[in-house]
């Protein structure tokens, strides 16, 4: 069964460093997402991406965050200058349908980011 | 704005017993509702979804959920728990006009199954 692949599975970084989390979505999917889950808290939406641009973003997704689809297979989340509160599990997801709201998302296993 | 509340962060049942995981939502527009399951060290896997039509939806692994508009609920049930059902379960909501397909998740319920 097709799956979404995320790397790294765990990254430890120093506060202020740049981090890039990588995702390989399902190959024929067109919609891409990042969510995060701070330990003990809810899974929160960060950003959705379609047709090479951001379609929606949350308040969390400030200027420190950016997303990119640099080639036909990867989808990346960059945090420019990490803060302690960025420590979380980051989930990438992709979806293939064009029906708003009914898009079934396939999630990756997550990348755990620890900021020291 | 939409929100989801999952009552009970931890639920423990015996193997073979009924599983009931509660989900209540708040939405100003007709909701689309989802249940996802997360096994250890894995991603979120879709169990079932409700968009329109029949309010009782069946999913994988014998789970089902019923959309009750009057109660703003979408509780997840399974008649007989299996040890392999032990996982964390997330209820989520979005809406038909949400072109970005942003999901709003509940806090999750960890299901433990005792032998």
Q: Which two tokens stand for residue A75?
A: 């989808």
Taking residues B84-98, report their average pLDDT.
89
How, if at all, do strands A111-115 and A10-13 pair?
parallel
Task: Yes or no: say if B74 and B25 are a contact pair by the CB < 8 Å rule.
Answer: yes
Interchain CB distance below 8 Å, A43 and B98: no
pLDDT score recorded for residue B80: 97
Is A100 within 8 Å of B101 when comparing Cβ atoms?
Answer: yes
Look at residues B28, B34, B108, B41 and name the one whose alpha carbon lies nearest to residue B74: B34
What residues form DSSP beta bridges with A11? A113
3-state secondary structure A22-53: EEECCCCCCEEEEEEECCCCCEEEEEEEECCE
| Separation between Cα atoms, residue B70 and residue B59, nearest integer Å | 22
Other C-beta atoms lying within 10 Å of the C-beta of residue A83: 11
Query: Has residue B102 got a pLDDT over 90?
Result: no
Which of B41, B101, B106 is facing A42, going by the closest CB pair? B106
Comparing C-alpha atoms, which of A6, A91, A24, A52 is closest to residue B36? A91
B103, closest residue in chain A (CA to CA): A45
Distance CA A33, CA A14 (A): 25
- DSSP bridge partners of A91: A35
Mutate to test the interface with A, among B102, B104, B105, B110 (most CBs of A within 10 A): B102
B49 to A108: CB separation less than 8 angstroms, yes or no: no
Residue A16 carries which DSSP code?
A: T
The per-residue pLDDT for A41 is 86
- On the question of pLDDT at B99 being above 70, the answer is no
Residues 6 or more apart in contact with residue A97 via CB below 8 angstroms: A31, A103, A104
Short-list B66, B51, B70, B38, CA closest to A102? B51
Residue range A28-57: average pLDDT? 90
The pair of three-digit structure tokens given for residue A93, joined into one six-digit string: 């997801």
Chain B residue with CA closest to A103: the answer is B101
CB contact, 8 Å: B28 with chain A? no
Q: Is B110 on the interface with A (CB under 8 A)?
A: no
- Mean pLDDT for B47-54 is 90
Distances (CA, A) of B20 to A60, A87, B3, B33, B85: 33, 32, 20, 16, 12
State the pLDDT at residue A99: 61
Residues of B in contact with A91 (CB under 8 A): 43-44
pLDDT tens, residue by residue, B58-82: 999 999 999 999 999 999 999 999 9
With CB atoms and an 8 Å threshold, state whether B101 touches A35: no
Does B100 contact A56 at a Cβ distance shorter than 8 Å? yes
Ranges A1-10, A49-58, B16-25, most confident:
B16-25
Interface mutation vs chain A, best among B36, B44, B93, most A CBs within 10 Å: B44
Say whether residue B70 is in contact with chain A using an 8 A CB cutoff: no
pLDDT tens column, A58-108: 999 999 999 999 887 899 999 999 999 999 999 999 987 656 566 678 899
**Which residues on B lie below 8 Å from A51 (Cβ)?**
none
Place of tokens 């960025």: A86
Vertex B42 angle, CA B39 and B48, to 5°: 60
């Amino acid at each position: 069964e097709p799956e979404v692949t995320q790397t790294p599975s765990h990254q430890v970084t120093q506060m202020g460093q740049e981090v890039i989390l990588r995702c390989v979505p399902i190959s024929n999917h067109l919609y891409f997402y990042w969510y995060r889950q701070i330990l003990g808290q809810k899974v929160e939406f960060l950003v959705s991406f379609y047709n090479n641009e951001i379609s929606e973003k949350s308040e969390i997704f400030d200027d420190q965050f950016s997303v990119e689809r640099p080639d036909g297979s990867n989808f990346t989340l960059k945090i420019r200058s990490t803060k302690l509160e960025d420590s979380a599990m980051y989930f990438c997801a992709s979806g293939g349908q064009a029906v708003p709201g009914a898009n079934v998302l396939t999630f990756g296993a997550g990348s755990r980011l620890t900021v020291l | 704005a939409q929100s989801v509340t999952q009552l009970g962060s931890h639920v423990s049942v015996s193997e073979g017993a009924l599983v009931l995981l509660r989900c209540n939502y708040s939405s100003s527009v007709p909701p689309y509702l989802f249940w996802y399951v997360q096994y250890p060290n894995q991603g979120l896997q879709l169990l079932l979804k409700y968009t329109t039509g029949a309010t009782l939806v069946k999913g994988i692994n014998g789970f089902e959920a019923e959309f009750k508009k009057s109660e703003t609920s979408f509780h997840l049930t399974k008649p007989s728990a299996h040890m392999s059902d032990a996982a964390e379960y997330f209820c989520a909501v979005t809406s038909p006009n949400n072109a970005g397909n942003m999901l709003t998740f509940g806090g999750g319920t960890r299901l433990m199954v005792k032998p």
